[in-house]
Structure 1
C-alpha cells in the first residue's frame, strides 16, 4: 500500500508529533510510506520512510504551500492520504479537488469546536471517544494513541537516577512520597492548579517540562512556601525513566485529546490522578478524577492515588494498557481502516 502522511506542525515535539513519528515508522514495515513534514523532523523517521520537506511554518492560506503540497502528493500517487490534526486537515480540505484519485483520512488529536475540515476525510480517526462528537457515525473511528513499551529500570538504576535529581535539589525532603507531572508549562496544562492542590499533601512534586509559565509557577511555589517539596526539572530527555520513580503521576490539564503521559504511566504500572479531560475519563476510575479547574477535587484524587489500595483499582488498567495502548495495536487498527477504505 502506498501511503502519504501529512504533519503540518513546525518545531515542537509533543503528543501529536510523537504519535505521527511512531505510526509512520511502524506502517513503513509493510507499506510504502511517505511523510510530508517540516524539515526539522527529518531525523525522526527510519530509513524505510520517504521524507518530503515542506515549510509548514507558513500560513494554511499560503498559496505556494498549497501548490507545493498538491504537487508533492500528485507526484507520489498514493492510495491513502492521511492528515494529522487540524492544520494538515485544513490544507487537505483546500487541495482535495486538485488531487488525483485517492482515499483520505484525517485524525483529530484535540478538542475542536469547528471540525468541518476533518470531514474531508473518507474516514475520521479520533484518539478518544469524546472527540467523535460532531463527526458522522459512518466516518468516525476511535483509535487510541499507543507508545512503545519503556524498558523497566532495575532497582540500582532507579536509585542512581533518583540520587542524581536529589543532588540538584538538596532542599527536598527525600523521605516523602513522590508525585510527578510531565508536560509543557503552558496555560492548557494548568500546572498552577496542581501546585495549589499539593499545598496540603505530604508528598514531593517533580514537574518535568518547560514553557512560558515557568517563572510564574516558580513564584507560586515560593508564595505557597512549597520550595522544600516542589522541584522544576525542566525539559528532560529521560522523562519516561523519571516517571518510573513516581508513586503517583498527575495530569492537571484543562484540555487533552488522549494524553500520552497517561499511556506511559499505565504501561509503567503507575497509578494516576487527573482532571476530567478527554481520553482520561474513558480509562481512570471516577475516584481518581477531579473536575477541570477544581483544586480541592484534584487534591482528593491525588490522596486517593497515594493510598496503597489504589494498586488494586489500577491492576486491570495496567494489563489493558500493555495490550491496547501500544504502537503495534494503534498501527494495526489504522492499517485495517486503510484496507477497509480501499475495499469500499
Structure 2
C-alpha cells in the first residue's frame, strides 16, 4: 500500500496536479519534493480523537478537490462530512470483512476483480495496480545470479505468504533451478531453520530485502506466488512486465491475469506442489503460454495507465451530482 501511494502520488504530480500526502513521518523519504508531505502520527489508533483532529485540521486547511484514502484506517478517518471539501475516494487493497467506512465515501477503487465483486457501493471502479517498467541496468541490493537459471519469489516473510509451504514443495521436488526468496520479515528465522532441517540449502536461498526485484525478474526463469491471499500482488505485475512467467496459488490478480494451467487448484500445499511438478519441467512452454499476459501487462498494468484511470475517476466523481 505504501508503494502504491508513493507511485500514484508521483505520477499524478507528473500529470500536473498538486498532490499532498498525509502519512507517518517515516515515509517522508519515499516522496520527492514535488509532493507536499504532511507528517501525521498514523501509528495512533483510528479512534484516537487527537489523530482525527489532526487529519481534519489539515484537510480543512487544504480544501482539496479530492481526498483519497489508501486503506481501511485512512477511510475511517475521512468518512464524515466534517472531513471533506471536494469528493472522497478510498482504495481497498485487500479482502475485508467489512467495507462500512468505504460505504461513506463518494467513490471506491478496487485493485482486483475479487475485491470489486464484493463491494456494493454504487460508485466503484476497478483499477489494477501498475508499475513503471525498470531497465536491466538498475542497481540491486543483492547481486543477481548470472551463471545459472533460477526461480524467484518476492514478498514479506510473513505467514500469509506461505513461503514455508513453497520451501517444502521445492525441497521435495528438487528441481534443477534454485529458488531465491527476496524479502524480510518475522518468519526469517523460522524459514532459515526449515531450509536447514530439510537439507535444502543449495535449493532455496533467503536473499533478504531487495530494493529492485524487477531486475531479478528480468533474469529469472519463473516467478512463484505462494500466498494464501492477496489484494493484487505487485510482484505479479512486475513479473509480467519483465516477461517472466508466473506460477501462483489462486489469489486475486493471478486469477484475472494468468491462464488456468499456471494456477494451483487451491491454496493447499499439495496443490502448489502439483502445479510446480507439472510446470517446472518445461519452462519454455510455460513462457509461451503467457505471451498474451505479457502483452496485456504492457498495455494495462503500467503506472501511467493506473494513474490515468484514477484521474479519470476523480473527474467522474467531481462532475457527478451525487454526494454520500
| TM-score when normalising by structure 2 | 0.91
- Contact 2:239 2:246 survives alignment (8 Å): yes
Task: Kindly state the Cα deviation for residue 136 of structure 1 after the two structures are TM-superposed.
Answer: 2.2
> What is the aligned partner in structure 2 of residue 238 from structure 1?
212
**Cα-Cα RMSD:** 1.8
Cα 1:333–1:238 change in 2 (3 A) is: closer
Task: Kindly state the Cα deviation for residue 305 of structure 1 after the two structures are TM-superposed.
Answer: 4.0
1:131-162 deviation per Cα after TM superposition (whole angstroms, max 9, x unaligned): 023422622110000001110359xx9xx732
SS at match of 2:207: strand
Task: Kindly state the Cα deviation for residue 88 of structure 1 after the two structures are TM-superposed.
Answer: 0.5
From 139, 144, 147, give the equivalent of 1:161.
Answer: 144
1:281-339 deviation per Cα after TM superposition (whole angstroms, max 9, x unaligned): 00111111114432232123234443121122111111110111011000000000011
Inter-partner Cα distance in structure 2 for 1:143 and 1:49: 22
> What is the aligned partner in structure 2 of residue 171 from structure 1?
none
Alignment map for 1:142-161 (pairs within 5 Å): 142-153=126-137, 161=144
1:195 partnered with 2:171: no
Inter-partner Cα distance in structure 1 for 2:241 and 2:279: 16
1:27 partnered with 2:12: yes
Inter-partner Cα distance in structure 2 for 1:150 and 1:304: 31
Inter-partner Cα distance in structure 1 for 2:274 and 2:244: 17
Alignment map for 1:229-268 (pairs within 5 Å): 229-268=203-242
1:130 partnered with 2:114: yes
Task: Kindly state the Cα deviation for residue 239 of structure 1 after the two structures are TM-superposed.
Answer: 2.4
From 52, 56, 64, give the equivalent of 1:78.
Answer: 64
| TM-score when normalising by structure 1 | 0.86
1:284 partnered with 2:258: yes
Unaligned runs of 5+ in 1: 1-15, 164-173
- Contact 1:86 1:108 survives alignment (8 Å): yes
Inter-partner Cα distance in structure 2 for 1:268 and 1:223: 34
Inter-partner Cα distance in structure 1 for 2:2 and 2:84: 27
Alignment map for 1:253-332 (pairs within 5 Å): 253-306=227-280, 307=282, 308-332=284-308
Q: Which runs of 4+ in 1 moved over 6 A?
A: none
Cα 1:224–1:257 change in 2 (3 A) is: same
Alignment map for 1:324-343 (pairs within 5 Å): 324-343=300-319
SS at match of 2:153: strand
SS at match of 2:133: coil
SS at match of 1:241: helix
1:201-236 deviation per Cα after TM superposition (whole angstroms, max 9, x unaligned): 413111111111111111211222211211111112
> What is the aligned partner in structure 2 of residue 53 from structure 1?
39
- Contact 2:108 2:121 survives alignment (8 Å): no
Number of matched pairs: 312
> What is the aligned partner in structure 2 of residue 13 from structure 1?
none
Inter-partner Cα distance in structure 2 for 1:130 and 1:249: 22
Unaligned runs of 5+ in 2: none
Inter-partner Cα distance in structure 1 for 2:107 and 2:185: 35
From 37, 50, 57, give the equivalent of 1:64.
Answer: 50
SS at match of 1:115: coil
Inter-partner Cα distance in structure 1 for 2:128 and 2:153: 21
